[in-house]
Structure 1
Amino acid sequence: MSTDINLSKPEPIILNKQLELFNRTSDVKLTIKALEAGKPVLITEFYSNGLLLLKALKIYLQKKLPNSSFQEQREYRAEYNKLSNLIYVEIVAHNLILKKSPSIGWLKKLYPESSDFLLTFPQIQGLNSAWQWYKNGISVPVLRNKIHPYYGTYFPTRFDHLILFDNWLKRYDGHKKTAIDVGIGSGILSFQMIKYGFQKVFGTDTNPNAIVGLIEYMGDTKLSRKIELDVASLFGKFEKQTELIVFNPPWLPKSHDLDRIDEAIYYDENLFPDFFEGAKQRLLPDGKLVLLFSNLAQITNVSKEHPIEKELAEGGRFQLDNYLKKTVKSASNKTKRDQHWRALEEVELWVLINK
């Protein structure tokens, strides 16, 4: 398929107005006041000056805002995102002009048409992290080869749900002619299905970067002939009935407007009803529908409603064939966030069949 797809990327910033400048000699408190007043700040001299300002901003906001409950953490992150994205960095000839800056290959790869512009410091941090992941690859316990996630593509940092799916696939004894992977992301579920003998997998994603990244990753290998892709929501152009439909949906209901990577984490109220309606049309009579989910929304009191339980109780389309769950490993000691709910978190594998 053509790779002429519009990528999702940070919009280059061109500013004509005077910016506040920040270096190691600047007054941090006055700079943060400027940010709160909506004034953009340009980092000068060293890359580490940007890190210094971000650290000071975090400390300031942690003192100003409570940060214990799940909801308070969301509010803290929203304020941090708003202010930190007023901190800018200058790019000239696809390189950061700050001394001791990292080399970020995405600047040339994503912006071939413009070489001089500004981006926010958090965007630069995101591009830098994404470049390291892409260049070095990420090991996933259920796959032999590393994945190389493209910029802006969601990839898992915990693997309990993938291990649950892998164990289920080992015992799967149905037909393996075709499968559909809704929201393919970095492709892990599809690679697992190919590993266990599926002849053809159709994968969709609303994020164009996910599709472009997979096209590049697969190249002209056997994988590229076994996995067919479509930039689309839910089932896209794939209308044929299939033996297996797999969906690893977002695990939390949304509370704000989403950007593309957030769509991998938060779902809107129409996602599950639309998915189940489309799945009913595309699942063969003896096919199976597998959803990977979590009780995260319930244990963090974000929602009392479980969308899969609701479908089984009210939808009239599917019945439960199997249900597996696995306790999630406790949060890393390195994390500063209070994640006491992790002790109660379980990932779930739901297998539904036609009624």
Structure 2
Amino acid sequence: MSTVTWIEHGTEHTARWRSENGAPPPARLEVVADEITANAALRRLRSGTALLWRGDYHNARQLLTAVGRRLDQRRPPEGLRIAELFRAHRDQRAQRAELLGRILVLLEPGARLGLRRAPDVAAACREAYGEPTEPTLVSLPELLGVLGAWQWQQQGVPVPALGERIHPRHSVFSPSRSEYVDLVARAPLPAVDGGASAFDLGTGTGVLAAVLGRRGAARVVATDLNPRAVDCARENLQRLGLADRVEVLEADLFPPGRADLVVCNPPWLPGEPTSALELGIYDEGSAMLRRFLKELPEHLTEQGEGWLILSDLAEHLELRSRAELLGLIEQAGLEVVGSDSTPARHSRAADARDLLHAARRQEVTTLWRLRPVARTTAV
């Protein structure tokens, strides 16, 4: 882990550098406090200077908001195709995140934030980082994300299909969009004496595995490559009383063996993720989608069925066509034997101020029921 050294009041200070999204340590650092204006801060950030905040905590948050508003005034040029607009918008958001990520705070040993009116951040930081034993520099936006994730972990996210709350953990994608969960809750399970066996690939919080367990699947194996997600899913399933029915494994997509039902909700947009949370949104080259389809037949029982849950937002953004998706299904030797769809219900779909509103308001999420062509039976 890198260290950062700076001079403050004539004394040299050193701290560990921590960045969850892999941002490099700052080459230049300036200590600032309440007197700095948003315009002055933005000039320094654009010059490549990181700002170590030593003033009031709430004033730091206000500065972050004010600088963010100034950055949001830049808009992509008119007349871009929707795919070009999406890429320009994403580039601008990445640049915005990079600049705001140069506003830093210092965590003292024990994860104490020594700013006026600062909250107690120790428990949230221990959950995200472990026990900090030395001074650590983190960006203020990252710290706010850690605090938000901790609040979600404590309070949980209501899941109507379960009638329960699911508790996400830091860097594990939250099931705040319930429409894909509802699709899994109402799709017909394969009819198997004694109950179907199921795999839930990329389980995250374990929400879909929990739905399958509650619906009567005899045995569910849930997998995830992220160790934090594995721990998170296990905690949720234990809390829901399903630990005896659902096993959670750290695995790269498929577990060993075959199942009557294999469920996969891959990231919906082709693109390179830039943080741990974006791994739940972006799938570079549609790699996870392609692999799921290609390997699905060898993991299904004789009458088994695969469920692919996928938003069509990528189609409306011209990032992947419906013909391309259907072509991937056909190339894998699979056939669609049923589907169920639901429109997007999240707030962005109704926000006309969103640059991508034209695409978002058309978004539909579909559960595709797939079987190998050679074994397809009438439905």
- Is TM > 0.5 for Structure 1 vs Structure 2? yes
Q: Helix, strand or coil: the match of 2:49? A: coil
Residue 41 of structure 2: aligned partner: 31
Q: Helix, strand or coil: the match of 2:243? A: helix
Judge conservation of contact 1:138–1:146 (CA < 8 Å) in 2: yes
2:321 to 304, 311, 327: 304
Q: CA separation of 1:306/1:96 partners in 2, compared to 1, >3 Å: closer, same or farther?
A: farther
Residue 129 of structure 1: aligned partner: 148
Superposition TM-score, scaled by structure 1 size: 0.87
Judge conservation of contact 1:43–1:49 (CA < 8 Å) in 2: no
Q: Per-residue CA shift, 1:196-223, capped at 9, x if unaligned? A: 1112111111221111122333448742
Q: Helix, strand or coil: the match of 2:165? A: coil
Judge conservation of contact 2:26–2:50 (CA < 8 Å) in 1: no
C-alpha root-mean-square deviation of aligned residues, in Å?
2.8
**Superposed, which structure 2 residues align to 1:166-315 within 5 Å?**
166-169=185-188, 172-174=190-192, 176-219=195-238, 222-235=241-254, 238-254=255-271, 256-269=272-285, 270-304=287-321, 308-315=325-332
Give the unaligned 5+ runs of structure 1: 1-7
The 1-side partners of 2:151 and 2:143 are apart by 12
Superposition TM-score, scaled by structure 2 size: 0.82
Q: CA separation of 1:331/1:243 partners in 2, compared to 1, >3 Å: closer, same or farther?
A: same
1:101 to 118, 140, 143: 118
Q: CA separation of 1:52/1:306 partners in 2, compared to 1, >3 Å: closer, same or farther?
A: farther
The 1-side partners of 2:277 and 2:172 are apart by 7
1:52 to 34, 37, 62: 62
The 2-side partners of 1:40 and 1:268 are apart by 30
The 2-side partners of 1:16 and 1:234 are apart by 36
Number of aligned residue pairs: give it: 343
Give 1:9 shift.
7.8
Residue 63 of structure 1: aligned partner: 73
1:340 to 358, 367, 373: 358
The 2-side partners of 1:313 and 1:16 are apart by 49
Bigger mean CA deviation after superposition, 328-337 or 126-135: 328-337
Judge conservation of contact 1:57–1:80 (CA < 8 Å) in 2: no
Give 1:229 shift.
1.8
Judge conservation of contact 2:297–2:371 (CA < 8 Å) in 1: no
Bigger mean CA deviation after superposition, 87-96 or 224-233: 224-233
Q: Helix, strand or coil: the match of 2:177? A: coil
Q: CA separation of 1:242/1:329 partners in 2, compared to 1, >3 Å: closer, same or farther?
A: same
The 1-side partners of 2:172 and 2:361 are apart by 28
Judge conservation of contact 2:105–2:139 (CA < 8 Å) in 1: yes
Q: Helix, strand or coil: the match of 1:263? A: helix
Q: Per-residue CA shift, 1:15-38, capped at 9, x if unaligned? A: 798732333311322221211121
Q: Per-residue CA shift, 1:301-334, capped at 9, x if unaligned? A: 233356541223333x211110111122263567
Q: Helix, strand or coil: the match of 1:158? A: coil
Identity %: 23
Q: Helix, strand or coil: the match of 2:40? A: helix
Bigger mean CA deviation after superposition, 199-208 or 218-227: 218-227
Q: Per-residue CA shift, 1:265-315, capped at 9, x if unaligned? A: 111223233222321111012101001111101112233356541223333
Counterpart residue identity of residue 33, structure 1: R
The 2-side partners of 1:50 and 1:179 are apart by 48
The 2-side partners of 1:351 and 1:67 are apart by 41
The 2-side partners of 1:281 and 1:331 are apart by 39
Could you list the runs of 4 or more consecutive aligned residues of structure 1 that deviate by over 6 angstroms after TM superposition?
A: 11-18
Q: Per-residue CA shift, 1:55-105, capped at 9, x if unaligned? A: 222222223343884333212211111111111111123121122223332
The 1-side partners of 2:263 and 2:124 are apart by 31
Q: CA separation of 1:274/1:18 partners in 2, compared to 1, >3 Å: closer, same or farther?
A: closer
**Superposed, which structure 2 residues align to 1:142-181 within 5 Å?**
142-169=161-188, 172-174=190-192, 176-181=195-200
Q: Per-residue CA shift, 1:91-131, capped at 9, x if unaligned? A: 12312112222333221333225253111111101101101
Judge conservation of contact 2:260–2:300 (CA < 8 Å) in 1: yes
The 1-side partners of 2:235 and 2:366 are apart by 31
The 1-side partners of 2:353 and 2:35 are apart by 29
